[in-house]
Amino acid sequence: MVNIEEKETKQWDENINNKPIDQHPNRFSNYLNEISIEKDVSKNSVETDDKDIWLDIPGYTSTNPIVDDIFLGDHGKETPIPQPTTTTTFDYESLFQLDVKSVPLTTSILFEQIHNQKEESITVDLKKALKFSINHPDGKVTSSFWKGENLFHKLREMFKKEKYDENVFVIIDKNGILPDFLNESTSVPKRMSQEYFIIQKESLFQIEFRFQDNNFKYFVSSHVKIPSIIERLLTDYNIKPPSDENYLCFFNEHKKTIENETIADLVKQTNNPESKIIPIIITEDNLNTSSLYQITLQTKQNQEQISFFHPTANWKHVNEWLKHFDQIIDSPTNEYSFFNREQKAILDEYQTISSTIIDGIDRNITIKVTFTYETNKVTINALKSTKIYHLLNNEHLLRQLNLIDISPNDCVLVLEETNEQILSQNDIQQPVNHYLSTDNQSIHFRISIMIQILRYDSSEPISIHFSNRNIIMEDIFQSITNVPSNVYKYLASNSTKKIIDYCDKLSNINETKFILVKENETCLVSIEKPKNNQLLDLDDGQNDIHQRYTIYARILDIYQENQLDIDHQYLLYSNDFVPSIQTQLISFQSPSSLSSIRFTLINENLPVNITIANNENQQTIQFHSSLRINIKI
């Protein structure tokens, strides 16, 4: 029996080893050699330090905290590539430049003209006889005096008298607009023309005004000017903005503003020039809160074209507009992609336009690249010459894929449809077209979770990749090949060394590195909680915790796994001492304890801190004990 006073003192200095001495083993011998016993799994590619692997990639600058910690850990053992001082360049020919900027609604001449137009008073007495002239297809002109209110009736009589086929001929007024005179229920319009022309029906175009929930249709000839048909619409249906700050705005089907053009001009701008139906979209916008986008096209020959677009227009609409300038754009194609100089990326054709400087490029030098991660799928356009790593250095893409909280060391990039090729760090420095076949119009990369399986008796990790985290641990165990399943029984957490239940989902475990262990590499840990201890919340409502760990787990791992308070809770072993948190569980094993180790949770540490040194290998152990302790030597 040794009494220890409460002060530092050297009790003995002995040469201690792992071998039993006269059937009385020194129970501190395992402690003193615990460092030499520990299998340093972390050195076998299991470092949890998520260094910025992008720093080894040419042209990458670590400035984005999200992108910096986001992607592919190099699962090979390649020599890191030194970071050059040059910046990333993009190989493409600019066919033209687009300067996009926001401008007020008043920039449109037509919008301003319609807004400031005053309605003319109607002075025609419909009951009074007026002179009407009719121009016939053969050039003959006839004149008649009719009351205004009888105009449509007289036109119908004239059609029958002259035997005009209603399916072949129609009548238009001097503005080129077809009056609905054949419909007996239609009244004479407020603004009445006194000159009419008989023309062939097939030469007419149908204008379809779309305003709010209404469609208004007019049939007109190709020479009609847009302002005249708009004025007719506003008069016929008494359409007026509610205030002077509100403007009526007019756009074609590509959301480009309509100006002082003719119907023939609009026909050229439609998707199908052979179509006889021309839509015109009317919006009511506030001068103070709405705007237009002015796009200035500048060719390589310094020729310019300017148009205005609705703020919701996208780049596909712009592309349709550009098709009308084939003669001034020096290009073998009229299908373009748009390269944003500032973002250094090709814009999606359905992305809304915004103020920026754009280079127009040939769409044939681009490709659609699809990235998938679990159930998320994002397709982007990219230059075929763009290196893969640059595509990944895109915060918006990573957020869309929900990759913002994944460590780069936990992922690999897999090239689909090529025998599941896993791309190394050298591979992702290749341009996209390096992986294209001649007929490929798209390429697909899948981001997979890389699971690393480590063993205490092997320096080579086993790597397995899965397309999603919605799997259970048994799936991972069953996927491990080339190891005897009757020898290895468990998967343990690499961080806490706790054995993981095979029914647990990978998505609920914040780890991708696990240790494959044998039965004899594990031990059962029991923690007894005193009944008056309420600091630890136990799910099973009992005082004991029973968990299985690897024998190389430390006391600290138990604290972390059970979220124990390291400053106020302590694990008492054998009612004798409180081991250091760095002590491994293998140190407690003995022939009598077999594979079970039992602790008691206490709220106050024992008063005396004892350090025992092994001078032979310069190793020490620490533990706390009471003022009186039994030591067997």
pLDDT in tens, 424-458: 888 999 999 888 876 567 899 999 999 999 999 98
> Average pLDDT for residues 161-177, to the nearest whole number?
92
The answer on pLDDT for 485 being more than 70 is yes
pLDDT-based confidence at 120, cuts 50/70/90? low
Q: Which of 270, 245, 276 is nearest to 256 (CA)?
A: 270
Half-sphere exposure of 332 (CA within 13 A, CB side): 5
Q: Does 552 score more than 70 pLDDT?
A: yes
Q: Please give the residue that has the higher pLDDT: either 530 or 141.
A: 141
Is the pTM higher than 0.85? The answer reads no
The predicted pLDDT at position 491 comes to 95
CATH of the domain spanning 2-39+472-629: 3.10.20.90
Evaluate whether 2-39+472-629 and 105-290 have a shared fold. yes
**What number is the average pLDDT over the span 552-558?**
94
Q: What is the mean pLDDT of residues 158-186?
A: 89
The position carrying tokens 């201690």 is: 16
Band the pLDDT of 133: cuts 50, 70, 90. Answer: very high
- Say how far apart CA 43 and CA 459 lie, in whole Å: 9
Task: Report whether 536 contacts 569 (CB < 8 A).
Answer: yes
Domain ranges in the chain are 2-39+472-629, 105-290
Assign a CATH topology to domain 105-290.
Ubiquitin-like (UB roll) (3.10.20)
The whole-angstrom distance between residue 96's C-alpha and the CA centroid of its chain comes to 29
Q: What is the mean pLDDT of the chain?
A: 81
Percent of the chain with pLDDT over 90: 46
Look at residue 268 and give its three-state secondary structure: helix
What pLDDT does residue 339 have? 94
Long-range contacts of 162-170 (CB under 8 A, 24+ apart): 162/136, 164/198, 167/201, 168/200, 168/201, 169/137, 169/198, 169/199, 169/200, 169/201, 170/198, 170/199, 170/200, 170/201, 170/204, 170/219
- Check pLDDT > 50 for residue 1: no
| Alpha-carbon span 61 to 81, nearest angstrom | 14
